[in-house]
Structure 1
């Protein structure tokens, strides 16, 4: 997909700021390239690529098999790791993840395929409103993994990869279904249900399905959250939230340790980073 040039919000950007404002700053404001990729990110991307190809074939009326899914997963993994250093968790290896990925593709190929596919990996820009009805300056960019069903019963499916099973709270507390509901209302003019399909990388891989839905109150809350994150970014409120989950696979650990709050503007901070790169290269 081509990058969106217009300033916008997405679930990933809002969620990244909420998870760790300093990581948001390094990646999205100063735009420091990632030196490494976490194995979880590569694994999840390869699963998504394989599923997108699978569903596109079904949508076009073409045959899609277990072999297609496995080949697409392995091909995506090879492409994404070709020129990147991948970091693995303790007691984790590439061969282990490749085996689990193929096992998950086999499981998914045996499930009943989706019918009446409306869209696959479709990205849209839609307006965001706060609880007072004010339209935010930045729109929401949403990419739905899969939209299927009928006018009366439309389902947005979100594919996840995880080292553990999801709980009902994981799904009910997530802003992601709100993002998908907002995009469907704007583009399809209908309310939808959202299903999380979780590919778990447990010792015995399994696929978990959890359904949820959102109300207008949830969409108002999404707008309020985005509005306040935007205010925080405009006021340069960036700080680390250190935890094993945040820090173990973070590509900006050194920048985080070197970080000191300053009053430099964003352009000056970007120039400082570029100068550091020149010195290191020299």
Structure 2
């Protein structure tokens, strides 16, 4: 699986994964477990199941995306029922038999949770942000690390607040994030900020997470991430190192009691011999 250094990195990525770019999801998957990355991105193995938390998060994203698209179009904020319809439409795109639900959880309990989450979202100031919405699910792409493929980013929300361009990533979480948790998750936004510079050259950029808790009484909070040149340099280095390992075909499992139970590649992992 090792590929030559003198070939354009985009071409190498396409030969390796069928995509002539790399995503943050691929990078973070490799960091968590290189073998899982290989099964998913290189071999394209079918997933035995998908976790309900992933489906739920994607469905909430789809509803929030509709909300912000309506605002971008100059329309009033959608009603709760409209957002719930978008949430349910996302579930209909899935094979329910392939979804792995958590303990004491089913599609009905998650539907009730979605209603609480989206109600909290609509009531929060973050549902009606200051400034002008300039991008919803905006796709940004560029080479930010020499010797690596171009990075493809999909940004949930981009705002022009006049003095700043605000890049926002929506997260659903089991519990409220501390600022420390937000900081630890900030590598993704650090790289995205490098791509966002091209949107309005010279304008300062602010990074933030919009975190919605999946709890009995959902909370919607914004967590700012300070742009740190040393952190960007470190994240670029991680990107480069991960890509070199991918390119060389370095894969191995990382057994984890946290990740393995919800891994959809358990069967091929157990039979993998290197």
**TM-score between both structures, scaled by the size of structure 1:** 0.84
SS in 2 for 1:223: helix
- Note the alpha carbon deviations across 1:135-194, whole angstroms, 9 max, x for none: 234111111100013342221111111112222222112211212211211333234112
CA distance in 1: counterparts of 2:218 and 2:27, whole angstroms? 30
SS in 2 for 1:234: helix
Aligned ranges for residues 44-193 of structure 1 at < 5 Å? 44-63=57-76, 64-81=78-95, 85-112=98-125, 113-114=128-129, 115-129=131-145, 135-174=146-185, 175-189=187-201, 190-193=203-206
Tell me the matched-pair count. Answer: 253
SS in 2 for 1:141: strand
Q: What is aligned with 1:274?
A: none
CA distance in 1: counterparts of 2:161 and 2:42, whole angstroms? 41
Q: List 4+ stretches of structure 1 deviating above 3 A.
A: 3-6
CA contact (8 A) 1:128 1:136 kept: no
CA distance in 1: counterparts of 2:49 and 2:200, whole angstroms? 38
Displacement of 1:223 after TM fit?
1.8
CA distance in 2: counterparts of 1:52 and 1:5, whole angstroms? 28
SS in 2 for 1:124: strand
Q: What is aligned with 1:249?
A: 262
CA distance in 2: counterparts of 1:176 and 1:158, whole angstroms? 9
Aligned-pair RMSD on alpha carbons? Answer: 2.0
CA contact (8 A) 1:9 1:226 kept: no
**TM-score between both structures, scaled by the size of structure 2:** 0.86
Aligned ranges for residues 1-16 of structure 1 at < 5 Å? 6-16=19-29
Displacement of 1:37 after TM fit?
1.2
Unaligned segments of structure 1, at least 5 residues: 130-134, 262-282
